[in-house]
């Protein structure tokens, strides 16, 4: 068998996923298979269903040869996830996971979002080189998102009260040293942005973290001249409708008369409330949950993607998706967005609602300027955020760790990578 054998352990994986982390895991798995490696993905359908998820209908291409997906399910349903969340171990699925890791004889075990697939305890399973990607801030935050009391970015720990506000039972294991002990099993930690790496440090994470961003497919977008999804020009929001996403900050700018509409692709717990706030404005359209492949024309013909997120994201997946299709981005100056916008020249940052209004006006009246920023974003995307740009960096990091540890099979397979 040629190529390395990878095992990805993750709570969410399409179609059992809510947001960007499952999609990011799938993209990396497919990219590795595309370069001659073999990937087994183990994910937890119990966890997805316990959070109210309903798997989407299969769309897009099937998984390629060399990519095996193992879906964990049990008759206990949500109780399986509750036990993992409370005890920090894969109580129900631990035996199955351990057996899969032993049978697979993997070279690399890569942990992604492990909060409900096994908690800290899963880090001790297996003997391969181990990698952990911080798709969220779970390592330093019981609620994963550093969104304090469900109303503001976290600037100081109030964890017990915050968990109660998030309607989550406190995790006693976080005060027992369990996480710290099991992190010793991990050989390489990856942050998805400089901001996320620095935020982990700020909140007490002492291990070194390498920065490796997400990416999207690097093939040329098809049908770039396709018909726009509607006759009137529009701005676009893509994401979950949750308090930290800041969508309500957009609505006042699209009330009353105006030449541009706002299209909102996504749904969530604030969906009904936001629709009520939008009222009868014909300029605001809620599209609901949109399949990934159906987003392409929405990005391609938008005057700009608007990212009003108030919280601390680890990476801006929607930003690089917009850049891929040549759409510029208007983003709040928070989280990873400043480093992405400033390094690319692909958009505009704002702090206040007044600055947001100015940016919307600027992009509405200056089509040529918006197009220049979109072109700059696409150029930056091609250099920084494609599988061709990111996958070799990932394999180089694996090679460096393997060299330190003397893992001959990895070194022989990767050669000079």
The stretches in the chain having pLDDT less than 70 are: 1, 55-60, 218-225, 416-417
Distance CA 288, CA 263 (A): 10
Within 10 A of 388 (CB to CB), how many other CB atoms are there?
Answer: 12
Give 168's contacts (C-beta < 8 A, 6+ positions apart). Answer: 85, 142, 143
pLDDT at 19: 72
Give 4's contacts (C-beta < 8 A, 6+ positions apart). Answer: 32, 37, 38, 107, 108, 398, 410, 413, 414
Give 296's contacts (C-beta < 8 A, 6+ positions apart). Answer: 221, 222, 325
* DSSP single-letter state for residue 60: S
pLDDT at 111: 98
pLDDT tens, 24-46?
A: 999 999 999 999 999 999 999 99
DSSP 300-311: HH-S-EEE---S
Q: What angle do CA 296, 69, 288 make, to 5 degrees?
A: 35
* DSSP single-letter state for residue 279: T
Distance CA 93, CA 100 (A): 11
* 208 φ/ψ angles, rounded to the nearest 5 degrees: -70, 140
Angle between helices 194-202 and 337-344 (to 10 degrees): 150
pLDDT at 50: 87
Distance CA 331, CA 347 (A): 8
Both structure tokens of 54: 């309903």
pLDDT at 293: 80
pLDDT at 416: 59
């Amino acid at each position: 068998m040629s190529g390395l054998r990878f095992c990805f352990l993750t709570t969410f994986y399409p179609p059992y996923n809510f947001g960007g982390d499952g999609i990011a895991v799938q993209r990396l798995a497919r990219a590795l298979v595309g370069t001659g490696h073999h990937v087994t993905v183990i994910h937890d359908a119990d966890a997805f269903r316990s959070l109210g998820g309903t798997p989407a209908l299969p769309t897009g291409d099937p998984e390629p040869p060399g990519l095996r997906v193992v879906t964990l399910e049990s008759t206990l349903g949500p109780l399986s996830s509750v036990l993992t969340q409370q005890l920090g171990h894969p109580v129900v699925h631990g035996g199955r996971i351990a057996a899969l890791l032993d049978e697979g004889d993997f070279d690399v075990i890569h942990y992604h979002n492990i909060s409900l697939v096994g908690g800290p305890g899963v880090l001790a399973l297996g003997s391969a080189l181990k990698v952990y990607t911080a798709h969220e801030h779970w390592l330093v935050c019981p609620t994963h998102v550093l969104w304090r009391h469900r109303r503001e970015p976290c600037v100081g720990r109030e964890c017990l009260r915050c968990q109660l506000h998030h309607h989550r039972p406190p995790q006693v294991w976080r005060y027992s040293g369990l996480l710290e002990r099991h992190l010793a099993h991990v050989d390489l930690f990856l942050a998805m942005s400089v901001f996320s790496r620095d935020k982990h440090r700020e909140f007490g994470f002492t291990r070194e973290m390498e920065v490796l961003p997400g990416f999207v497919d690097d093939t040329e977008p098809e049908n770039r001249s396709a018909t726009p999804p509607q006759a009137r020009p529009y701005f676009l929001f893509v994401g979950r409708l949750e308090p930290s996403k800041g969508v309500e900050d957009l609505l006042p700018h699209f009330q009353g008369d105006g030449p541009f509409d706002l299209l909102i692709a996504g749904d969530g717990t604030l969906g009904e409330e936001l629709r009520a706030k939008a009222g009868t404005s014909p300029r605001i359209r809620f599209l609901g949950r949109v399949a990934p492949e159906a987003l392409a024309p929405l990005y391609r013909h938008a005057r700009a993607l608007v990212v009003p997120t108030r919280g601390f994201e680890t990476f801006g997946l929607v930003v690089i998706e917009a850049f891929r299709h040549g759409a510029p981005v208007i983003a709040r100056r928070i989280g990873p967005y400043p480093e992405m916008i400033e390094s690319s020249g692909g958009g505009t940052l704002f702090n206040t609602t007044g600055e947001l209004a100015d940016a919307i006006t600027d992009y509405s009246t200056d089509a040529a300027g918006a197009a220049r920023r979109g072109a700059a974003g696409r150029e930056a995307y091609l250099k920084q955020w494609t599988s061709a740009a990111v996958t070799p960096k990932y394999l180089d990091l694996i090679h460096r760790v393997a060299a330190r540890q003397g893992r001959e099979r990895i070194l022989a397979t990767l050669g000079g990578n």
